[in-house]
Copies of this chain bind each other. A is one copy, B any other.
Amino acid sequence: MAEQVDRRQALIRAAFAAIADQGFEGFRLRPIAAAAGIDHSTLHHYFRTKEDLIAAVLEHVTSQLEGTMQADLEPARRLRRHLGAVATAIVERPELFIVLDELDLRARRDATMAANIRQDEQGWRAALVALFEEGIERGTWSVDVDASVELVIATLKGLRLRPDTAEVVVKQLCDLYSRGAPE
């Protein structure tokens, strides 16, 4: 039983790593099975199809990207912390975001994938909405909530492919939102 779980995890991790550094174009099942130490036909006992494995990779990725928003801080600081946390994650674990990008692109052709991703994003989006609404309520900012939420999301997504600029960009975005709202 533990065997099963381990093997499954090993396959997911191997798949994740493969996508991270080869993309979907070169993504083949045989090497994944080999990396997990099993025959390629055995892989199908764990994941019926290639798509099933990919779905599991998405789950794996999003499960690692939760909880970067602390509810108790006041809005400006919360935003700063959140952006900082994501920037740090982009710098420290860029593969996570690379794979997300691959999955995002893939979602355009795969409805199930699109649904899953959208769903995962809803949590993030809701937290940002709450953040900006609170900020406006308190008088910290006078901005459009939805627009700000999408700006933050777009910026962070745009950073995926350029981890080296993450820190500086995030700082700039914070500064723009900090005018009149010093820490």
Residue ranges of A at the interface with B (Cβ–Cβ < 8 Å): 21-27, 98, 101-102, 104-106, 108-109, 143-144, 146-148, 150-151, 153-159, 161-162, 165, 168-169, 171-173, 175-177, 179
Q: A108 contacts which chain B residues (CB < 8 A)?
A: 21, 23, 98, 161
Contact partner, A105, options B161, B173, B176, B177, Cβ 8 Å: B161
A109 touching B158 in the complex, CB below 8 Å, given contacts A143-B172, A151-B172, A179-B179: no
Give the CA-CA distance A175 to B147 in the complex, in Å: 11
Number of copies: 4
Closest to A164 in B: B150
Give the CA-CA distance A95 to B24 in the complex, in Å: 19
A26 touching B109 in the complex, CB below 8 Å, given contacts A150-B165, A172-B151: yes
CB pair A168 B155 closer than 8 Å: no
CB pair B26 A23 closer than 8 Å: no
Q: A102 contacts which chain B residues (CB < 8 A)?
A: 105
Q: A22 contacts which chain B residues (CB < 8 A)?
A: 109
Q: A105 contacts which chain B residues (CB < 8 A)?
A: 23, 98, 101-102, 105, 161
Give the CA-CA distance A162 to B144 in the complex, in Å: 18
Give the CA-CA distance A97 to B22 in the complex, in Å: 21
CB pair A154 B162 closer than 8 Å: yes
Known: A98-B105, A154-B156. 6 other contacts (CB 8 A): A24-B24, A105-B161, A147-B169, A151-B169, A157-B157, A157-B161
Q: Which of A151, A165, A169, A179 has the most CB of B within 10 A?
A: A151
Those 8 A-B pairs whose CB atoms lie nearest each other, nearest first: A158-B158, A154-B158, A157-B158, A147-B172, A176-B176, A150-B165, A147-B168, A24-B25
Closest to A147 in B: B172
